[in-house]
Chain A
Amino acid sequence: MPSLPSPENITRVELPNGSVVLVYENHASPSVIVRGHLRAGSLFDPDDLPGVAAFTAEVVERGTESRSFQDIAEETESVGAAVGVGAGVHLVGFSAKGLSEDLKLLLEILSDILQHPTFPKDEIERVRGEILTSLREREDSTGAMAQLAFRALAYPKHPYGRDSLGTLASVSAIKRKDLMQFYRQYYRPQGMQIAVVGDVNASAVVALARKYFGKWNVKGMPPSFAIPPVKPLNKLKRKHIKMKNKIQSDVIFGAPALPRTHPDFLAAEMADVILGEFGMMGRLGDNVRDRLGLAYYARTQLEGAPGPGAWSAYAGVNPQNVDTAVEAMLSELRRIQDEPVSNEELDDVKDYATGIQPLRLESNDGIAAALLDMEFYNLGLDYLQRLPSLVRAVTPEQVQSAAQKYLNTETYALVVAGP
C-alpha cells in the first residue's frame, strides 16, 4: 500500500528555465492527471480592463501554430482525455486528464497550448460571446451576485475586490492585442509549477517534461507577485442587491483576514472548521439549520491565499428570515471569540483535521492539488508528515485569539441578494 506523499516518494525537479516538475506514482487506476499553474491571474488585470486574464486563459487553448481548436478537442477527446486552462485571482491553472497510456500526448498538447497560442480572431469572438452570456446569467444568480458585491465592499480598490470575469463593458471592449500583450507579459516558465500524478514512471515523466517544457524560455524577469496591502474596514458596510424575481435570498458577511502563510493561519483554520465545517456545517449549521430550521446551508469560509483572504459566513434563507439568520450566525462568531473552545471539542476537531487526510489524498486529483499546494506555499514536501503534529500543537487559547484577531464581527461587509 502506498504511503502518504513525502520527500521519499515525490520526485521534484527544477528545470533550468525556472519551472518545477513534481511527480507521484499511483498505480491504483490506469489514469493520470497533469495539473499546473502560472502566475497570470486576474491580479494582473489592468485597472481599466478587468477580465483580460480570464479571457486570455480561455483563448490560449483555442488554437496554436500547428493545431486549431477543433484539432485539440478531437485529439484529446478521441482518447477520452480533456485539457483545460482557467484563470483564478493569482494563478492561471491548467490541467490534462487521461489514460496513462496517453500521457505523452497530454504533455505535448499542454506545452503547445501554453507556448504557441495564435489567438485566432474567430475564436476570440466565440469566447467573447460565451463570457458575455455567463456574465448575464450571473446577474440572475443570488449567490453569485452576493459574492461579487461582498468582495467589492470588503476589498475596496484592491485586486481581491475586483471582478475576475470582467464586466459587460470591459469584455466587449477587450481587443486581440490586449490578450496577446497579456500573454507575452505573464505566460512564462519562471514560477510555473507542474504536478503529474497517476499510473506513470517518474523518471519517464521527468524526461517528457524536459522535452516539452524545458526549451520554453522567455526573456526578462516575471512581474512582482506582491499583494498590495489591504486596508481594514473602518465601519460596517451593508448592501442589498434587489432581485425581485427571486424566492430566496443569499446573504454573506465577513472581512479580510490573514495570508495562508501567516503563523496564525492554522489556528484560524481550526476555528473555521469549528464554526462552519465539523459535523454538519459546524456550529453555524447546528444553530441555523438544525436548531432554527432557517436554511438548507449556513456555513463559514476562510480563504487561504498569498494575501489576506476573506473570512466570511453565508447562508441561503427566506427573505423574511435574513435578519434572524444573520443574528444567529453573528452570535456563533462572537461566542468563539468570547469563550475558549473546550479541550474535548478541540480534540475532536484535531482528530477530524488529521484523520480526513487519507480521504483527501485518495484520488490523483487530490494528490496533485496537495503537491501544488506544498510547492506554491513553500510548505516543504514533508508537510503531510508534519501536519499532524502541527495540528496537535494548537491550543484553545490560540483558536480563541485567532478568532478575536481575524474574525471581524464589528466592521464587516454584509450583502443580501434577493427580493
Chain B
Amino acid sequence: MNAVTHHTLPNGLTVLLQEQHAAPVTTAWTFYRVGARNEVSGITGASHWVEHMMFKGTPKFGKGVIDVLTSKNGGYNNGLTDLDYTCYLFTLPSERIQLALDILADLMANATFDADEVESERTVIISEREGNENNPAYQLYEEVNATAYHVHPYHQPVIGWQSDLRAMTRDDLFRHYRTYYAPNNAIVVVVGDFETNAMMQQVEQYFGAFQGKSSQPSVRSVEPPQESERRVLLEKAGTTAYFRAVYHTPEATHADMPALIMLDSILSGGKGMSFFGGGVGLNKSSRLYRALVESELAADVSSGYGFNHDPSLFEVGATVREGRSLQEVEDAVFAELERIADKSPKPAELAKAVKQTRAQFAYATERVSSVAYLLGVLECIHSYNDLNIFTERLAAVTPQDVQRVAQTYLKKSNRTVGWFNPVVSSQ
C-alpha cells in the first residue's frame, strides 16, 4: 500500500492523505465519531437524520445545490451512517476535488436545518424505514439485535425506531449536530491523484479555522455478560424461513479480533472489504456452505464478525431451503460451530483464509473510494495504521487460536437465536 500521511491540525482535526496515481480520480471524505452508538432513547436515528439534513443545504450551498454541483463536475457523493460513525464522501475527477473540500468544510458547521425541510425529510426517512420493514430478513435482523443488546445502544437500529422518527424535533437534530460535528471529533481522508504537500495546504485552508469544541459525551452504558441463551420467534406472513444467530464478541481492538476474522473466513469464506464493490464471494468451499447448502438444508448461508468501537456480535444467517425446516438448519449450524470448537482447523485452512484476505485487500484497493473508506473507519475505531499490519496479524493466527476463540465466544449461553417462520401466504 502507498504511504499514508497522518497529521493533526491545531484545532484537533485528524487528516489522512494517500497519493494514488493510477487513475485521474480523487476522493475526499469527512468522518465524524457519531452514530447509533451515541443515541439515547427518544432520539434514535438522529445521526442518520442529521446526515440526510446535510444535503438540504447551508447558506453557501442551498438546498439541492450540493448534488447538482457534484453531478455537473462529473462526480458522485454520498453520506453513510453506521453504529460508530457518520461519513460523507465526494469522488471527482482530480482537478475538481477542491469543490469537495469546500462543501465538506462548510458542512462541519453551517448546515441550516430549516424546519420545513426537517418535516419533509421526516417522511422520506420513514419511507426508508418502511422499505426495510417490507423485508422479513431485515425484521429478523432488527429483532435479534435488539434482543442480544439489552443495555448498550447497539440495541437500536441505525435508522431509528419508528416512534422516535415521528416525534423527534428540529432542535433535537440540531443539538445532535452541534454536539458532534467539530474538528476534534472528525477525520478528513483524501486519497487519489494529487501531491501531498499541496493537498495538506488545501485541507488546512478549508478546515483550519474551525474551533475545537469541549469533548463530546461519552457512552456510559456497558452491556453486561449474557448468561443464558435468548430466543426470538417471528411468526408472520411470508414465503420463506430465515435463521439468524448472534454471539457477543469483543471490540475491534481486542487481541482476539484477528482469530475471530480467521474463524469467520473458515466458516464462510474471506469477505470483501468495502461496500464500494470489487470484492468477490468466496463462500462455496467453506465449512458452512458444505454443511448447509451442499446438504440441501439451506439456499444460502453466511457468517460475519462485528468490527466495532464497543463489544460487538459474531453472526450466522441462513435462508431455509423450500421444504426444509428451521430446526434442521439450526441443528446443522450449531453442529458446525461445535466442530471447530472441538478440534482446531488444519493449517491449510488457515493458509487459505490468509490468501483470501490478501486477495480481497487487493480488490478493495482498485478504487480510491474503497481505500479512503477503510482508512477512515479504522481511524474512527482505533488507527488507520491497523491496515498496514492487518495481513501480518492475520498470518500470525494459529489453529489453536481459532479453536480457542470458537470455544470462548460461540457458546450456547452467549447466543441469541432468531427464527423467521412464515405462517401464512402473503397473497
* Chain A, 266-307, CB within 8 A of any chain B CB: 277-280, 286, 289-297
Taking a contact as CB atoms under 8 Å apart, the answer to whether B239 and A1 are in contact is no
17 interchain pairs, CB-CB under 8 A: A1-B22, A81-B280, A126-B296, A130-B300, A137-B319, A140-B240, A247-B133, A248-B127, A248-B133, A293-B123, A297-B131, A318-B126, A352-B71, A355-B75, A359-B76, A362-B366, A363-B277
Determine which of B127, B131, B352 lies in contact with A78 in the assembled complex, contact meaning CB atoms within 8 Å. B352
Q: Does A185 belong to the interface (CB within 8 Å)? A: no
- Whether A296 contacts B124 in the complex (CB less than 8 A), given A30-B362, A81-B280, A137-B319, comes out as yes
Taking a contact as CB atoms under 8 Å apart, the answer to whether A133 and B120 are in contact is no
Bound CA–CA A136/B240 (angstroms) = 7
Q: Does A389 belong to the interface (CB within 8 Å)? A: no
Determine which of B63, B127, B294, B367 lies in contact with A316 in the assembled complex, contact meaning CB atoms within 8 Å. B127
Taking a contact as CB atoms under 8 Å apart, the answer to whether B134 and A142 are in contact is yes
Q: Does A26 belong to the interface (CB within 8 Å)? A: yes
Residue of A nearest to B23 (CB): A362
Bound CA–CA A351/B130 (angstroms) = 36
Determine the chain B residues whose CB is within 8 A of the CB of A352 once the complex forms: 71-72, 74
Taking a contact as CB atoms under 8 Å apart, the answer to whether A359 and B22 are in contact is no
Q: Does A207 belong to the interface (CB within 8 Å)? A: no
Determine the chain A residues whose CB is within 8 A of the CB of B294 once the complex forms: 70, 126
* Chain A, 333-380, CB within 8 A of any chain B CB: 348-349, 351-352, 354-359, 361-365
Taking a contact as CB atoms under 8 Å apart, the answer to whether B284 and A290 are in contact is no
Bound CA–CA A357/B91 (angstroms) = 12
Residue of B nearest to A136 (CB): B239
Taking a contact as CB atoms under 8 Å apart, the answer to whether A26 and B64 are in contact is no
Determine which of A70, A77, A141, A295 lies in contact with B127 in the assembled complex, contact meaning CB atoms within 8 Å. A295
Q: Quote the shortest CB–CB distance from B341 to chain A (angstroms).
A: 23
- Whether A358 contacts B127 in the complex (CB less than 8 A), given A140-B239, A365-B277, comes out as no
Q: Does A203 belong to the interface (CB within 8 Å)? A: no
Determine the chain B residues whose CB is within 8 A of the CB of A245 once the complex forms: 236-238, 426
Taking a contact as CB atoms under 8 Å apart, the answer to whether B74 and A82 are in contact is no
Determine the chain A residues whose CB is within 8 A of the CB of B127 once the complex forms: 248, 294-296, 316-318
Interface size in chain B (residues, C-beta < 8 A): 81
Q: Which B residues are within 8 Å of any A CB, using their own CB?
A: 20-25, 55, 63-64, 67-68, 70-76, 91-93, 96, 119-128, 130-131, 133-136, 193, 236-240, 269-270, 277-278, 280-282, 284-286, 290, 293-294, 296, 299-300, 319-323, 352, 355-360, 362-363, 365-368, 422, 426-427
Taking a contact as CB atoms under 8 Å apart, the answer to whether A129 and B68 are in contact is no
Bound CA–CA A278/B239 (angstroms) = 37
Determine which of B237, B239, B362 lies in contact with A31 in the assembled complex, contact meaning CB atoms within 8 Å. B362
Q: 5 other contacts beyond A126-B296, A244-B427, with CB at 8 A cut-off? A: A80-B280, A129-B321, A278-B72, A348-B72, A352-B72
* Chain A, 357-413, CB within 8 A of any chain B CB: 357-359, 361-365
- Whether A358 contacts B25 in the complex (CB less than 8 A), given A245-B238, A293-B120, comes out as yes
Taking a contact as CB atoms under 8 Å apart, the answer to whether A293 and B25 are in contact is no
Determine the chain A residues whose CB is within 8 A of the CB of B299 once the complex forms: 129-130, 133-134
Determine the chain B residues whose CB is within 8 A of the CB of A290 once the complex forms: 63-64, 120
Q: Quote the shortest CB–CB distance from B29 to chain A (angstroms).
A: 15
Interface size in chain A (residues, C-beta < 8 A): 74
Taking a contact as CB atoms under 8 Å apart, the answer to whether B285 and A358 are in contact is no
Interface string of A119-148 (1 = CB under 8 A from B): 000000110011011101101111000000
Determine the chain B residues whose CB is within 8 A of the CB of A349 once the complex forms: 71-72
Taking a contact as CB atoms under 8 Å apart, the answer to whether B133 and A359 are in contact is no
Taking a contact as CB atoms under 8 Å apart, the answer to whether A362 and B120 are in contact is no
Interface string of A69-109 (1 = CB under 8 A from B): 11001100111111010000000000001110000000000
Determine which of A69, A293, A354 lies in contact with B121 in the assembled complex, contact meaning CB atoms within 8 Å. A293
Taking a contact as CB atoms under 8 Å apart, the answer to whether A2 and B23 are in contact is yes
Bound CA–CA A290/B57 (angstroms) = 12
- Whether A80 contacts B356 in the complex (CB less than 8 A), given A28-B366, A130-B321, comes out as yes
Residue of A nearest to B426 (CB): A245
Taking a contact as CB atoms under 8 Å apart, the answer to whether B71 and A359 are in contact is no
Determine which of B73, B122, B123, B365 lies in contact with A355 in the assembled complex, contact meaning CB atoms within 8 Å. B73
Taking a contact as CB atoms under 8 Å apart, the answer to whether B363 and A31 are in contact is yes
Q: Does A246 belong to the interface (CB within 8 Å)? A: yes
Determine the chain B residues whose CB is within 8 A of the CB of A133 once the complex forms: 240, 299, 319-322
Taking a contact as CB atoms under 8 Å apart, the answer to whether B359 and A99 are in contact is yes
Determine which of A130, A139, A277, A317 lies in contact with B239 in the assembled complex, contact meaning CB atoms within 8 Å. A139
Interface string of A14-41 (1 = CB under 8 A from B): 0000000000001111110000000000
* Chain A, 39-56, CB within 8 A of any chain B CB: none
Taking a contact as CB atoms under 8 Å apart, the answer to whether B352 and A77 are in contact is yes
Residue of A nearest to B365 (CB): A29
